[in-house]
Amino acid sequence: MKIASINKINGNSRFNGPIGNSVNNFYLFENMTEGVCIVNEYGYIEYVNNTYEKVFNVKKKDMIGNSIFMVKCDDVLVTAFKEKQSIKGKLNYYFNDYQIEASASTIYFGEKFSGVITIYGQRKVDSRRKVIEIGKNEKTSSIYKYEPSNFFSEIIGESEAIKRSLYRAQKASRTSSTVLIRGESGTGKELVANAIHRNSKRANKPFITLNCGAIPSNLLESELFGHEQGAFTGAVKKKLGKFEQANGGTIFLDEIGDLPLQMQVKLLRVLQEKEFNRVGGNETIKVDVRIIAATNKNLEEMIDNDEFREDLYYRLNVIPIYLPSLKERKDDIPLLINHFVEKVSKKLGIESVKLTEEAQKCLCQYDWPGNVRELENIIERLIALCEGNTIDIYDIPKKISNTFAINKIQSHNKPVGLINMNEHGELATFEDYEREIIRYAIKKFKSFNAAGKALGITHKTVASKARKYNIVD
């Protein structure tokens, strides 16, 4: 869960003993109306109460004993643990009509960090404010009746988060209202916009797209509204703009947050009056166009900084739709992997490859900052470079597999980190570490070539190190 707002607060909880001993009367928290989650110094969850279970729809047995990096935890708790500082914040998460607020306090035994205790309260949400929060996690009873049309069923996902977004998008497709799609880069905003158009009464009319951030500002007006012959140097003939091309249909304005202020004024006129003038022309052109806009920027913050017009924001934000990131819908990653494996294999004209269980887990646990687009690109790279028909964890890029390796260490009741020192905190020599990692890699991957791939070095280097340390004859 992401944080809508977050602040560091003064004051740490200090106990007279380790968390497991000093807070042994956990039953005191059981009947609290606030949720409670207690984490030890290594990041393992020692306790959650009944309210936490209910609010976040989880089971104690799935939480207690697991690392906060291996289960779904909020950013307030995780940030407090990482920075070892007390923090409070509002989550972009709703329980019924209440937004969840979190307050994480660090626990110290003397001067030693011993963990974090986080309390989750509930705050009644103003309906207007909830619109501004764009309904990221609002509960909708009718979501369970969601039956996707043919166009929306093409969008892969079975999680509640994506179904909630598609349910709203499908309802929006039955109207002519302006839609504002929000979400991180790579979440599929254009795909959803296209589905809205194809499921609408305008489906047999044009669907025109324009990326507002990809066109130089001095050319943007001509792209949107067209120009007359001789309007400027290089305008050798009349050109129809995107709005004129989309007449009767839909125009999708991607990256609307990158639209210059001067162009925001002109777009506002089109929204209000349904008319515009070509560059260099006097004729007023009337159009009937539905606008779907999209952005990954915080428009509310841009309004506060005078970077985006508030009147345009309210004109665009008639039906807000939030597309969750892959971090918010990790249950969908296996479905997406299978879909992209089949799609890419068909595209390349080869037999479908298989992923080992460890490779699949590795891909599922990565945070995917580039979201669905990044996942599809990685799958295509893995298939294109795969030797044989099986993808293993050492085939996966290091930035992904290394994260998986760290999380694996954290999930087996070991201290956080790649280096496990002895009880006195003493380091071994560099050669000792090198000997052990080479020995482990050869034992695990059975060949110098595979071990080299896993370690990011050549097979010749592995062979040389193996001889140096007498690991093999």
Whether residues 358 and 450 share a domain: the answer is: no
* Inside any domain, residue 416: no
Residue that finishes a domain, picked among 388, 411, 434: 411
Determine the residue type at 56.
Answer: F
* Inside any domain, residue 131: no
Residue that finishes a domain, picked among 125, 159, 184: 125
* Inside any domain, residue 28: yes
Residue that finishes a domain, picked among 392, 411, 430: 411
Determine the residue type at 101.
Answer: E
Whether residues 158 and 120 share a domain: the answer is: no
Percent of the chain residues topping a pLDDT of 90: 36
* Inside any domain, residue 358: yes
Report the run of H or E that residue 36 belongs to, with start and end. Answer: strand 35-40
Digit-by-digit pLDDT tens for the chain (473 residues) are: 655 555 555 555 544 444 544 445 677 788 888 999 999 888 889 999 999 999 888 888 888 888 887 777 888 898 888 888 888 888 877 777 788 889 999 988 888 888 999 999 988 764 434 433 434 444 433 333 556 677 888 899 988 889 889 989 999 999 999 999 999 999 999 999 999 999 999 999 999 999 998 998 888 988 999 888 777 777 768 888 899 999 999 999 999 999 999 999 999 999 999 998 888 888 889 999 999 999 999 999 899 999 999 999 999 999 999 999 998 898 899 999 999 999 999 998 888 889 988 889 889 888 898 999 999 999 999 999 888 888 988 888 888 887 776 666 555 544 445 555 554 556 667 877 788 888 888 888 878 888 888 888 888 888 888 888 787 64
Residue 21: CB atoms within 10 Å: 11
Model pLDDT, residue 57: 87
Model pLDDT, residue 400: 85
Domain of 361, CATH number, reads 1.10.8.60
Model pLDDT, residue 4: 53
CA separation (Å) from 164 to 141, 144, 400?
10, 9, 29
The whole-angstrom separation of Cα 397 and Cα 328 is 22
Q: Which domain does 385 fall in, by range?
A: 327-411
* Inside any domain, residue 248: yes
Whether residues 317 and 333 share a domain: the answer is: no
Model pLDDT, residue 211: 94
Whether residues 112 and 149 share a domain: the answer is: no
Whether residues 402 and 447 share a domain: the answer is: no
* Inside any domain, residue 362: yes
Q: Whose CA is closest to 412, among 44, 150, 32?
A: 44
pTM above 0.75, yes or no: no
- Using CA of residue 410, residue 82, residue 116, residue 54, what is the dihedral sign? negative
Whether residues 220 and 280 share a domain: the answer is: yes
Q: Whose CA is closest to 171, among 141, 135, 199, 138?
A: 199
- Which DSSP string do the residues of 221-263 spell out, in sequence order? HHHHH-B-TTSSTT--S-B--HHHHTTTSEEEEESGGGS-HHH
Distance, C-alpha 307 to centroid of its chain: 25
Whether residues 316 and 200 share a domain: the answer is: yes
Whether residues 403 and 426 share a domain: the answer is: no
Task: List 456's β-bridge partners, or say none.
Answer: none
CA separation (Å) from 274 to 266, 291, 310?
11, 11, 19
CA separation (Å) from 134 to 61, 93, 101, 129, 324?
33, 11, 17, 9, 11
Residue 231: CB atoms within 10 Å: 16
Give the chain's end-to-end CA distance (angstroms, integer).
Answer: 52
State the DSSP code for 183.
Answer: -
* Inside any domain, residue 77: yes
Domain of 115, CATH number, reads 3.30.450.20
Whether residues 301 and 191 share a domain: the answer is: yes
- Averaged pLDDT score across all residues of the chain: 82
Residue 150 phi, psi (nearest 5)? -55, -40
Whether residues 216 and 343 share a domain: the answer is: no
Whether residues 106 and 243 share a domain: the answer is: no
* Inside any domain, residue 51: yes
Domain of 435, CATH number, reads 1.10.10
Give SS3 for 39.
strand
> What's the total number of domains in the chain?
4
Whether residues 266 and 292 share a domain: the answer is: yes
Residue 211 phi, psi (nearest 5)? -90, 110
